[in-house]
Amino acid sequence: MVRKQYSKSDIRDLIASCSFLDGLLDKKSNVVEEDDLLFVNKNLVAIRFEGNLVPSLKMLISKTDLLPKVVVDKGAIKFVVKGADVMRPGIVSVGSFQCSDFVVIVDETYGKPLAVGKSLFDSKTLLEMKEGKVLLNLHQIGDKFWEKSQ
């Protein structure tokens, strides 16, 4: 287990590199990174995927505008929360994003975050598609990251 306690200067650098942490951190915040998980005052706020810090689902539930949204229909929900990648037919609407951007996957009815994914296509190309895998599911409700945030 790799554990890093952030100093005040580390926190300043972190805020500069991750805009979604601005307003959440101050110089008195207890910031710890443990095995690619970023905790602020013992709350999981971000996960490091491929070297990039991405907001956790717990963070996205309270601040839904941190990532572009992809809305899935009711039929896709049960698969997404079990960790399945997202296929084009299950998508109802999308925000604006580029290929390889991180997105939040939300349900059609309530707009609640279900998962964090990585896009395989930009939003324009995705909307033109009729079938195929379009998002990789990286973090969903009930997974190991979700459990650590409880």
Q: Assign 6 to helix, strand or coil.
A: coil
**pLDDT score of 29:** 86
**pLDDT score of 116:** 97
Exposure on the CB side of residue 108, measured as CA atoms within 13 A: 12
**pLDDT score of 47:** 95
The two three-digit tokens of residue 70, written as one number: 């992809």
Rounded Cα gap, residues 112 and 77, in angstroms:
11
For the chain, 150 residues long, give each residue's pLDDT as a single digit of tens: 778 888 888 888 888 888 888 878 877 889 999 989 999 999 999 999 998 999 999 999 988 889 999 999 999 999 999 999 999 999 999 999 999 999 999 999 999 999 999 999 999 999 999 999 999 999 999 999 999 887
Q: Which residues contact 71 (CB under 8 A, 6 or more apart)?
A: 91, 92, 93, 94, 106, 107, 108, 111
Rounded Cα gap, residues 55 and 105, in angstroms:
13
**pLDDT score of 23:** 79
Q: Name the residue among 112, 101, 49, 118 with its Cα closest to residue 77.
A: 112
**pLDDT score of 57:** 95
- Asked if 92 and 71 touch (Cβ cutoff 8 Å), the reply is yes
Beta strands in the chain (DSSP E): 3-5, 31-34, 37-40, 43-49, 52-55, 69-72, 86-87, 91-94, 102-107, 113-119, 133-140
| Full set of structural domains in the chain with CATH | 3-56 (3.10.450.120), 61-148 (2.30.130.10)
What does pTM read for this prediction?
0.91
